[in-house]
Amino acid sequence: MLNSTTLEVAMGLALVYLVLSLFCTAINEAIAGFFGSRGKNLEKGIKSLFTGGLKSAATADGAGTAVTLAQAIYDHGLIQSLYRSTPVEQAGTWFKKFRSTLPSYIPSPMFASALFDVVFPNLDAAPATAAAPAQTAPATTPAVQQVTLGAMLTRLQDLPDSKAKEAISTLVKQAGGDLAKTRNAFEDWYNAGMDRAAGWYKRRTQKILLVLGLLIAVGMNVDSIKLGQALWISPAIRSYTVTTAEQYAHANTAPNATTFNAIGALQSLTTLPLGWTSVSYHQTREQVAGLRHPHKSSIFGIFLILVGWLATAIAMTLGAPFWFDTLNQFMVIRSTIKPGDDK
């Protein structure tokens, strides 16, 4: 059974991880914003839907530059309106190679409309036939839908053979010539692809957060093992840290607290072994120097430091929301422990 001492140590570690996670996330968001990572990931996701499919066969014979369906979507007026700036405005700037003006988010209805217009231009209603005149037959009748389906499949034949053509043809056939269902099918197809792209972005972000976490852990000398030992051994440090954690949790009702509050919470934890002091620096330096003449204590000491830094970095990859919720849960559990249960 967890006693109050264990919970207080856990609360202290959770507070440190929470504050450091806020810094780590802020740095990652700044990097992602500068390089346009979300926009590039979205473009990658859309390209994966079309798998290199071309807009028309006429441009694929070498007579001109082949235009992919993904490029046609991004060139569409609906999508162009989402750009932060046009390529012309970015031309000649030194950061053009690094930054991206691509939209970071495209609503599914807008994507579906753009795709429909690219693949089926000027097909807003079913064509008139002798059996089903456009002026008298509702657009939802089976006869009109069959005519519309035939017209759509005919236009799809103009696309070069590709997996994109196969996917779009399947969606069109399933919709049976109903224009509304076709657009809904495009939306569902897009949303499924974006769920996959979101997974790519999350995994990439986790790797970046791990690297940033290691840099922060080493740069600030945040050793989880030393932190845990300090909290466990000293009741005074533990009590002060718990008080700080409670004040921080009560003052911030959401994990995305301001950086000012996070800095204040970190500065208040002066009693914890955080940062590079002259003592910690010389101790680490002596242990590293001792590796030239390996002995058990030096190797084990360096191993513990590396494990402590790595543990801190891994904890930061979990994110501020996780540690904010964990801290509040620890506080609830601690409030239910009766005096004397901490023995």
Contact yes or no for 142/126 (Cβ under 8 A)? no
Label residues 270-287 b or e (16+ Cβ within 10 Å = b).
eebbbeeeeebeeebeeb
pLDDT value of residue 326: 92
For residue 72, give every residue at least 6 positions away whose Cβ sits within 8 Å of its Cβ, in sequence order, or none. 55, 118
Question: How many whole angstroms separate alpha carbon 195 and alpha carbon 187?
Answer: 12
Mean per-residue pLDDT pooled into runs of 10, the chain (343 residues): 77 91 89 88 90 63 68 90 62 50 90 91 55 44 78 86 89 88 93 93 93 93 90 88 83 60 63 71 57 60 88 93 90 73 52
pLDDT tens-place string over residues 159-207: 888 888 899 999 999 988 888 899 999 999 999 999 999 999 999 999 9
Q: Where are the domains of the chain?
A: 4-33+203-336, 39-200
pLDDT value of residue 53: 72
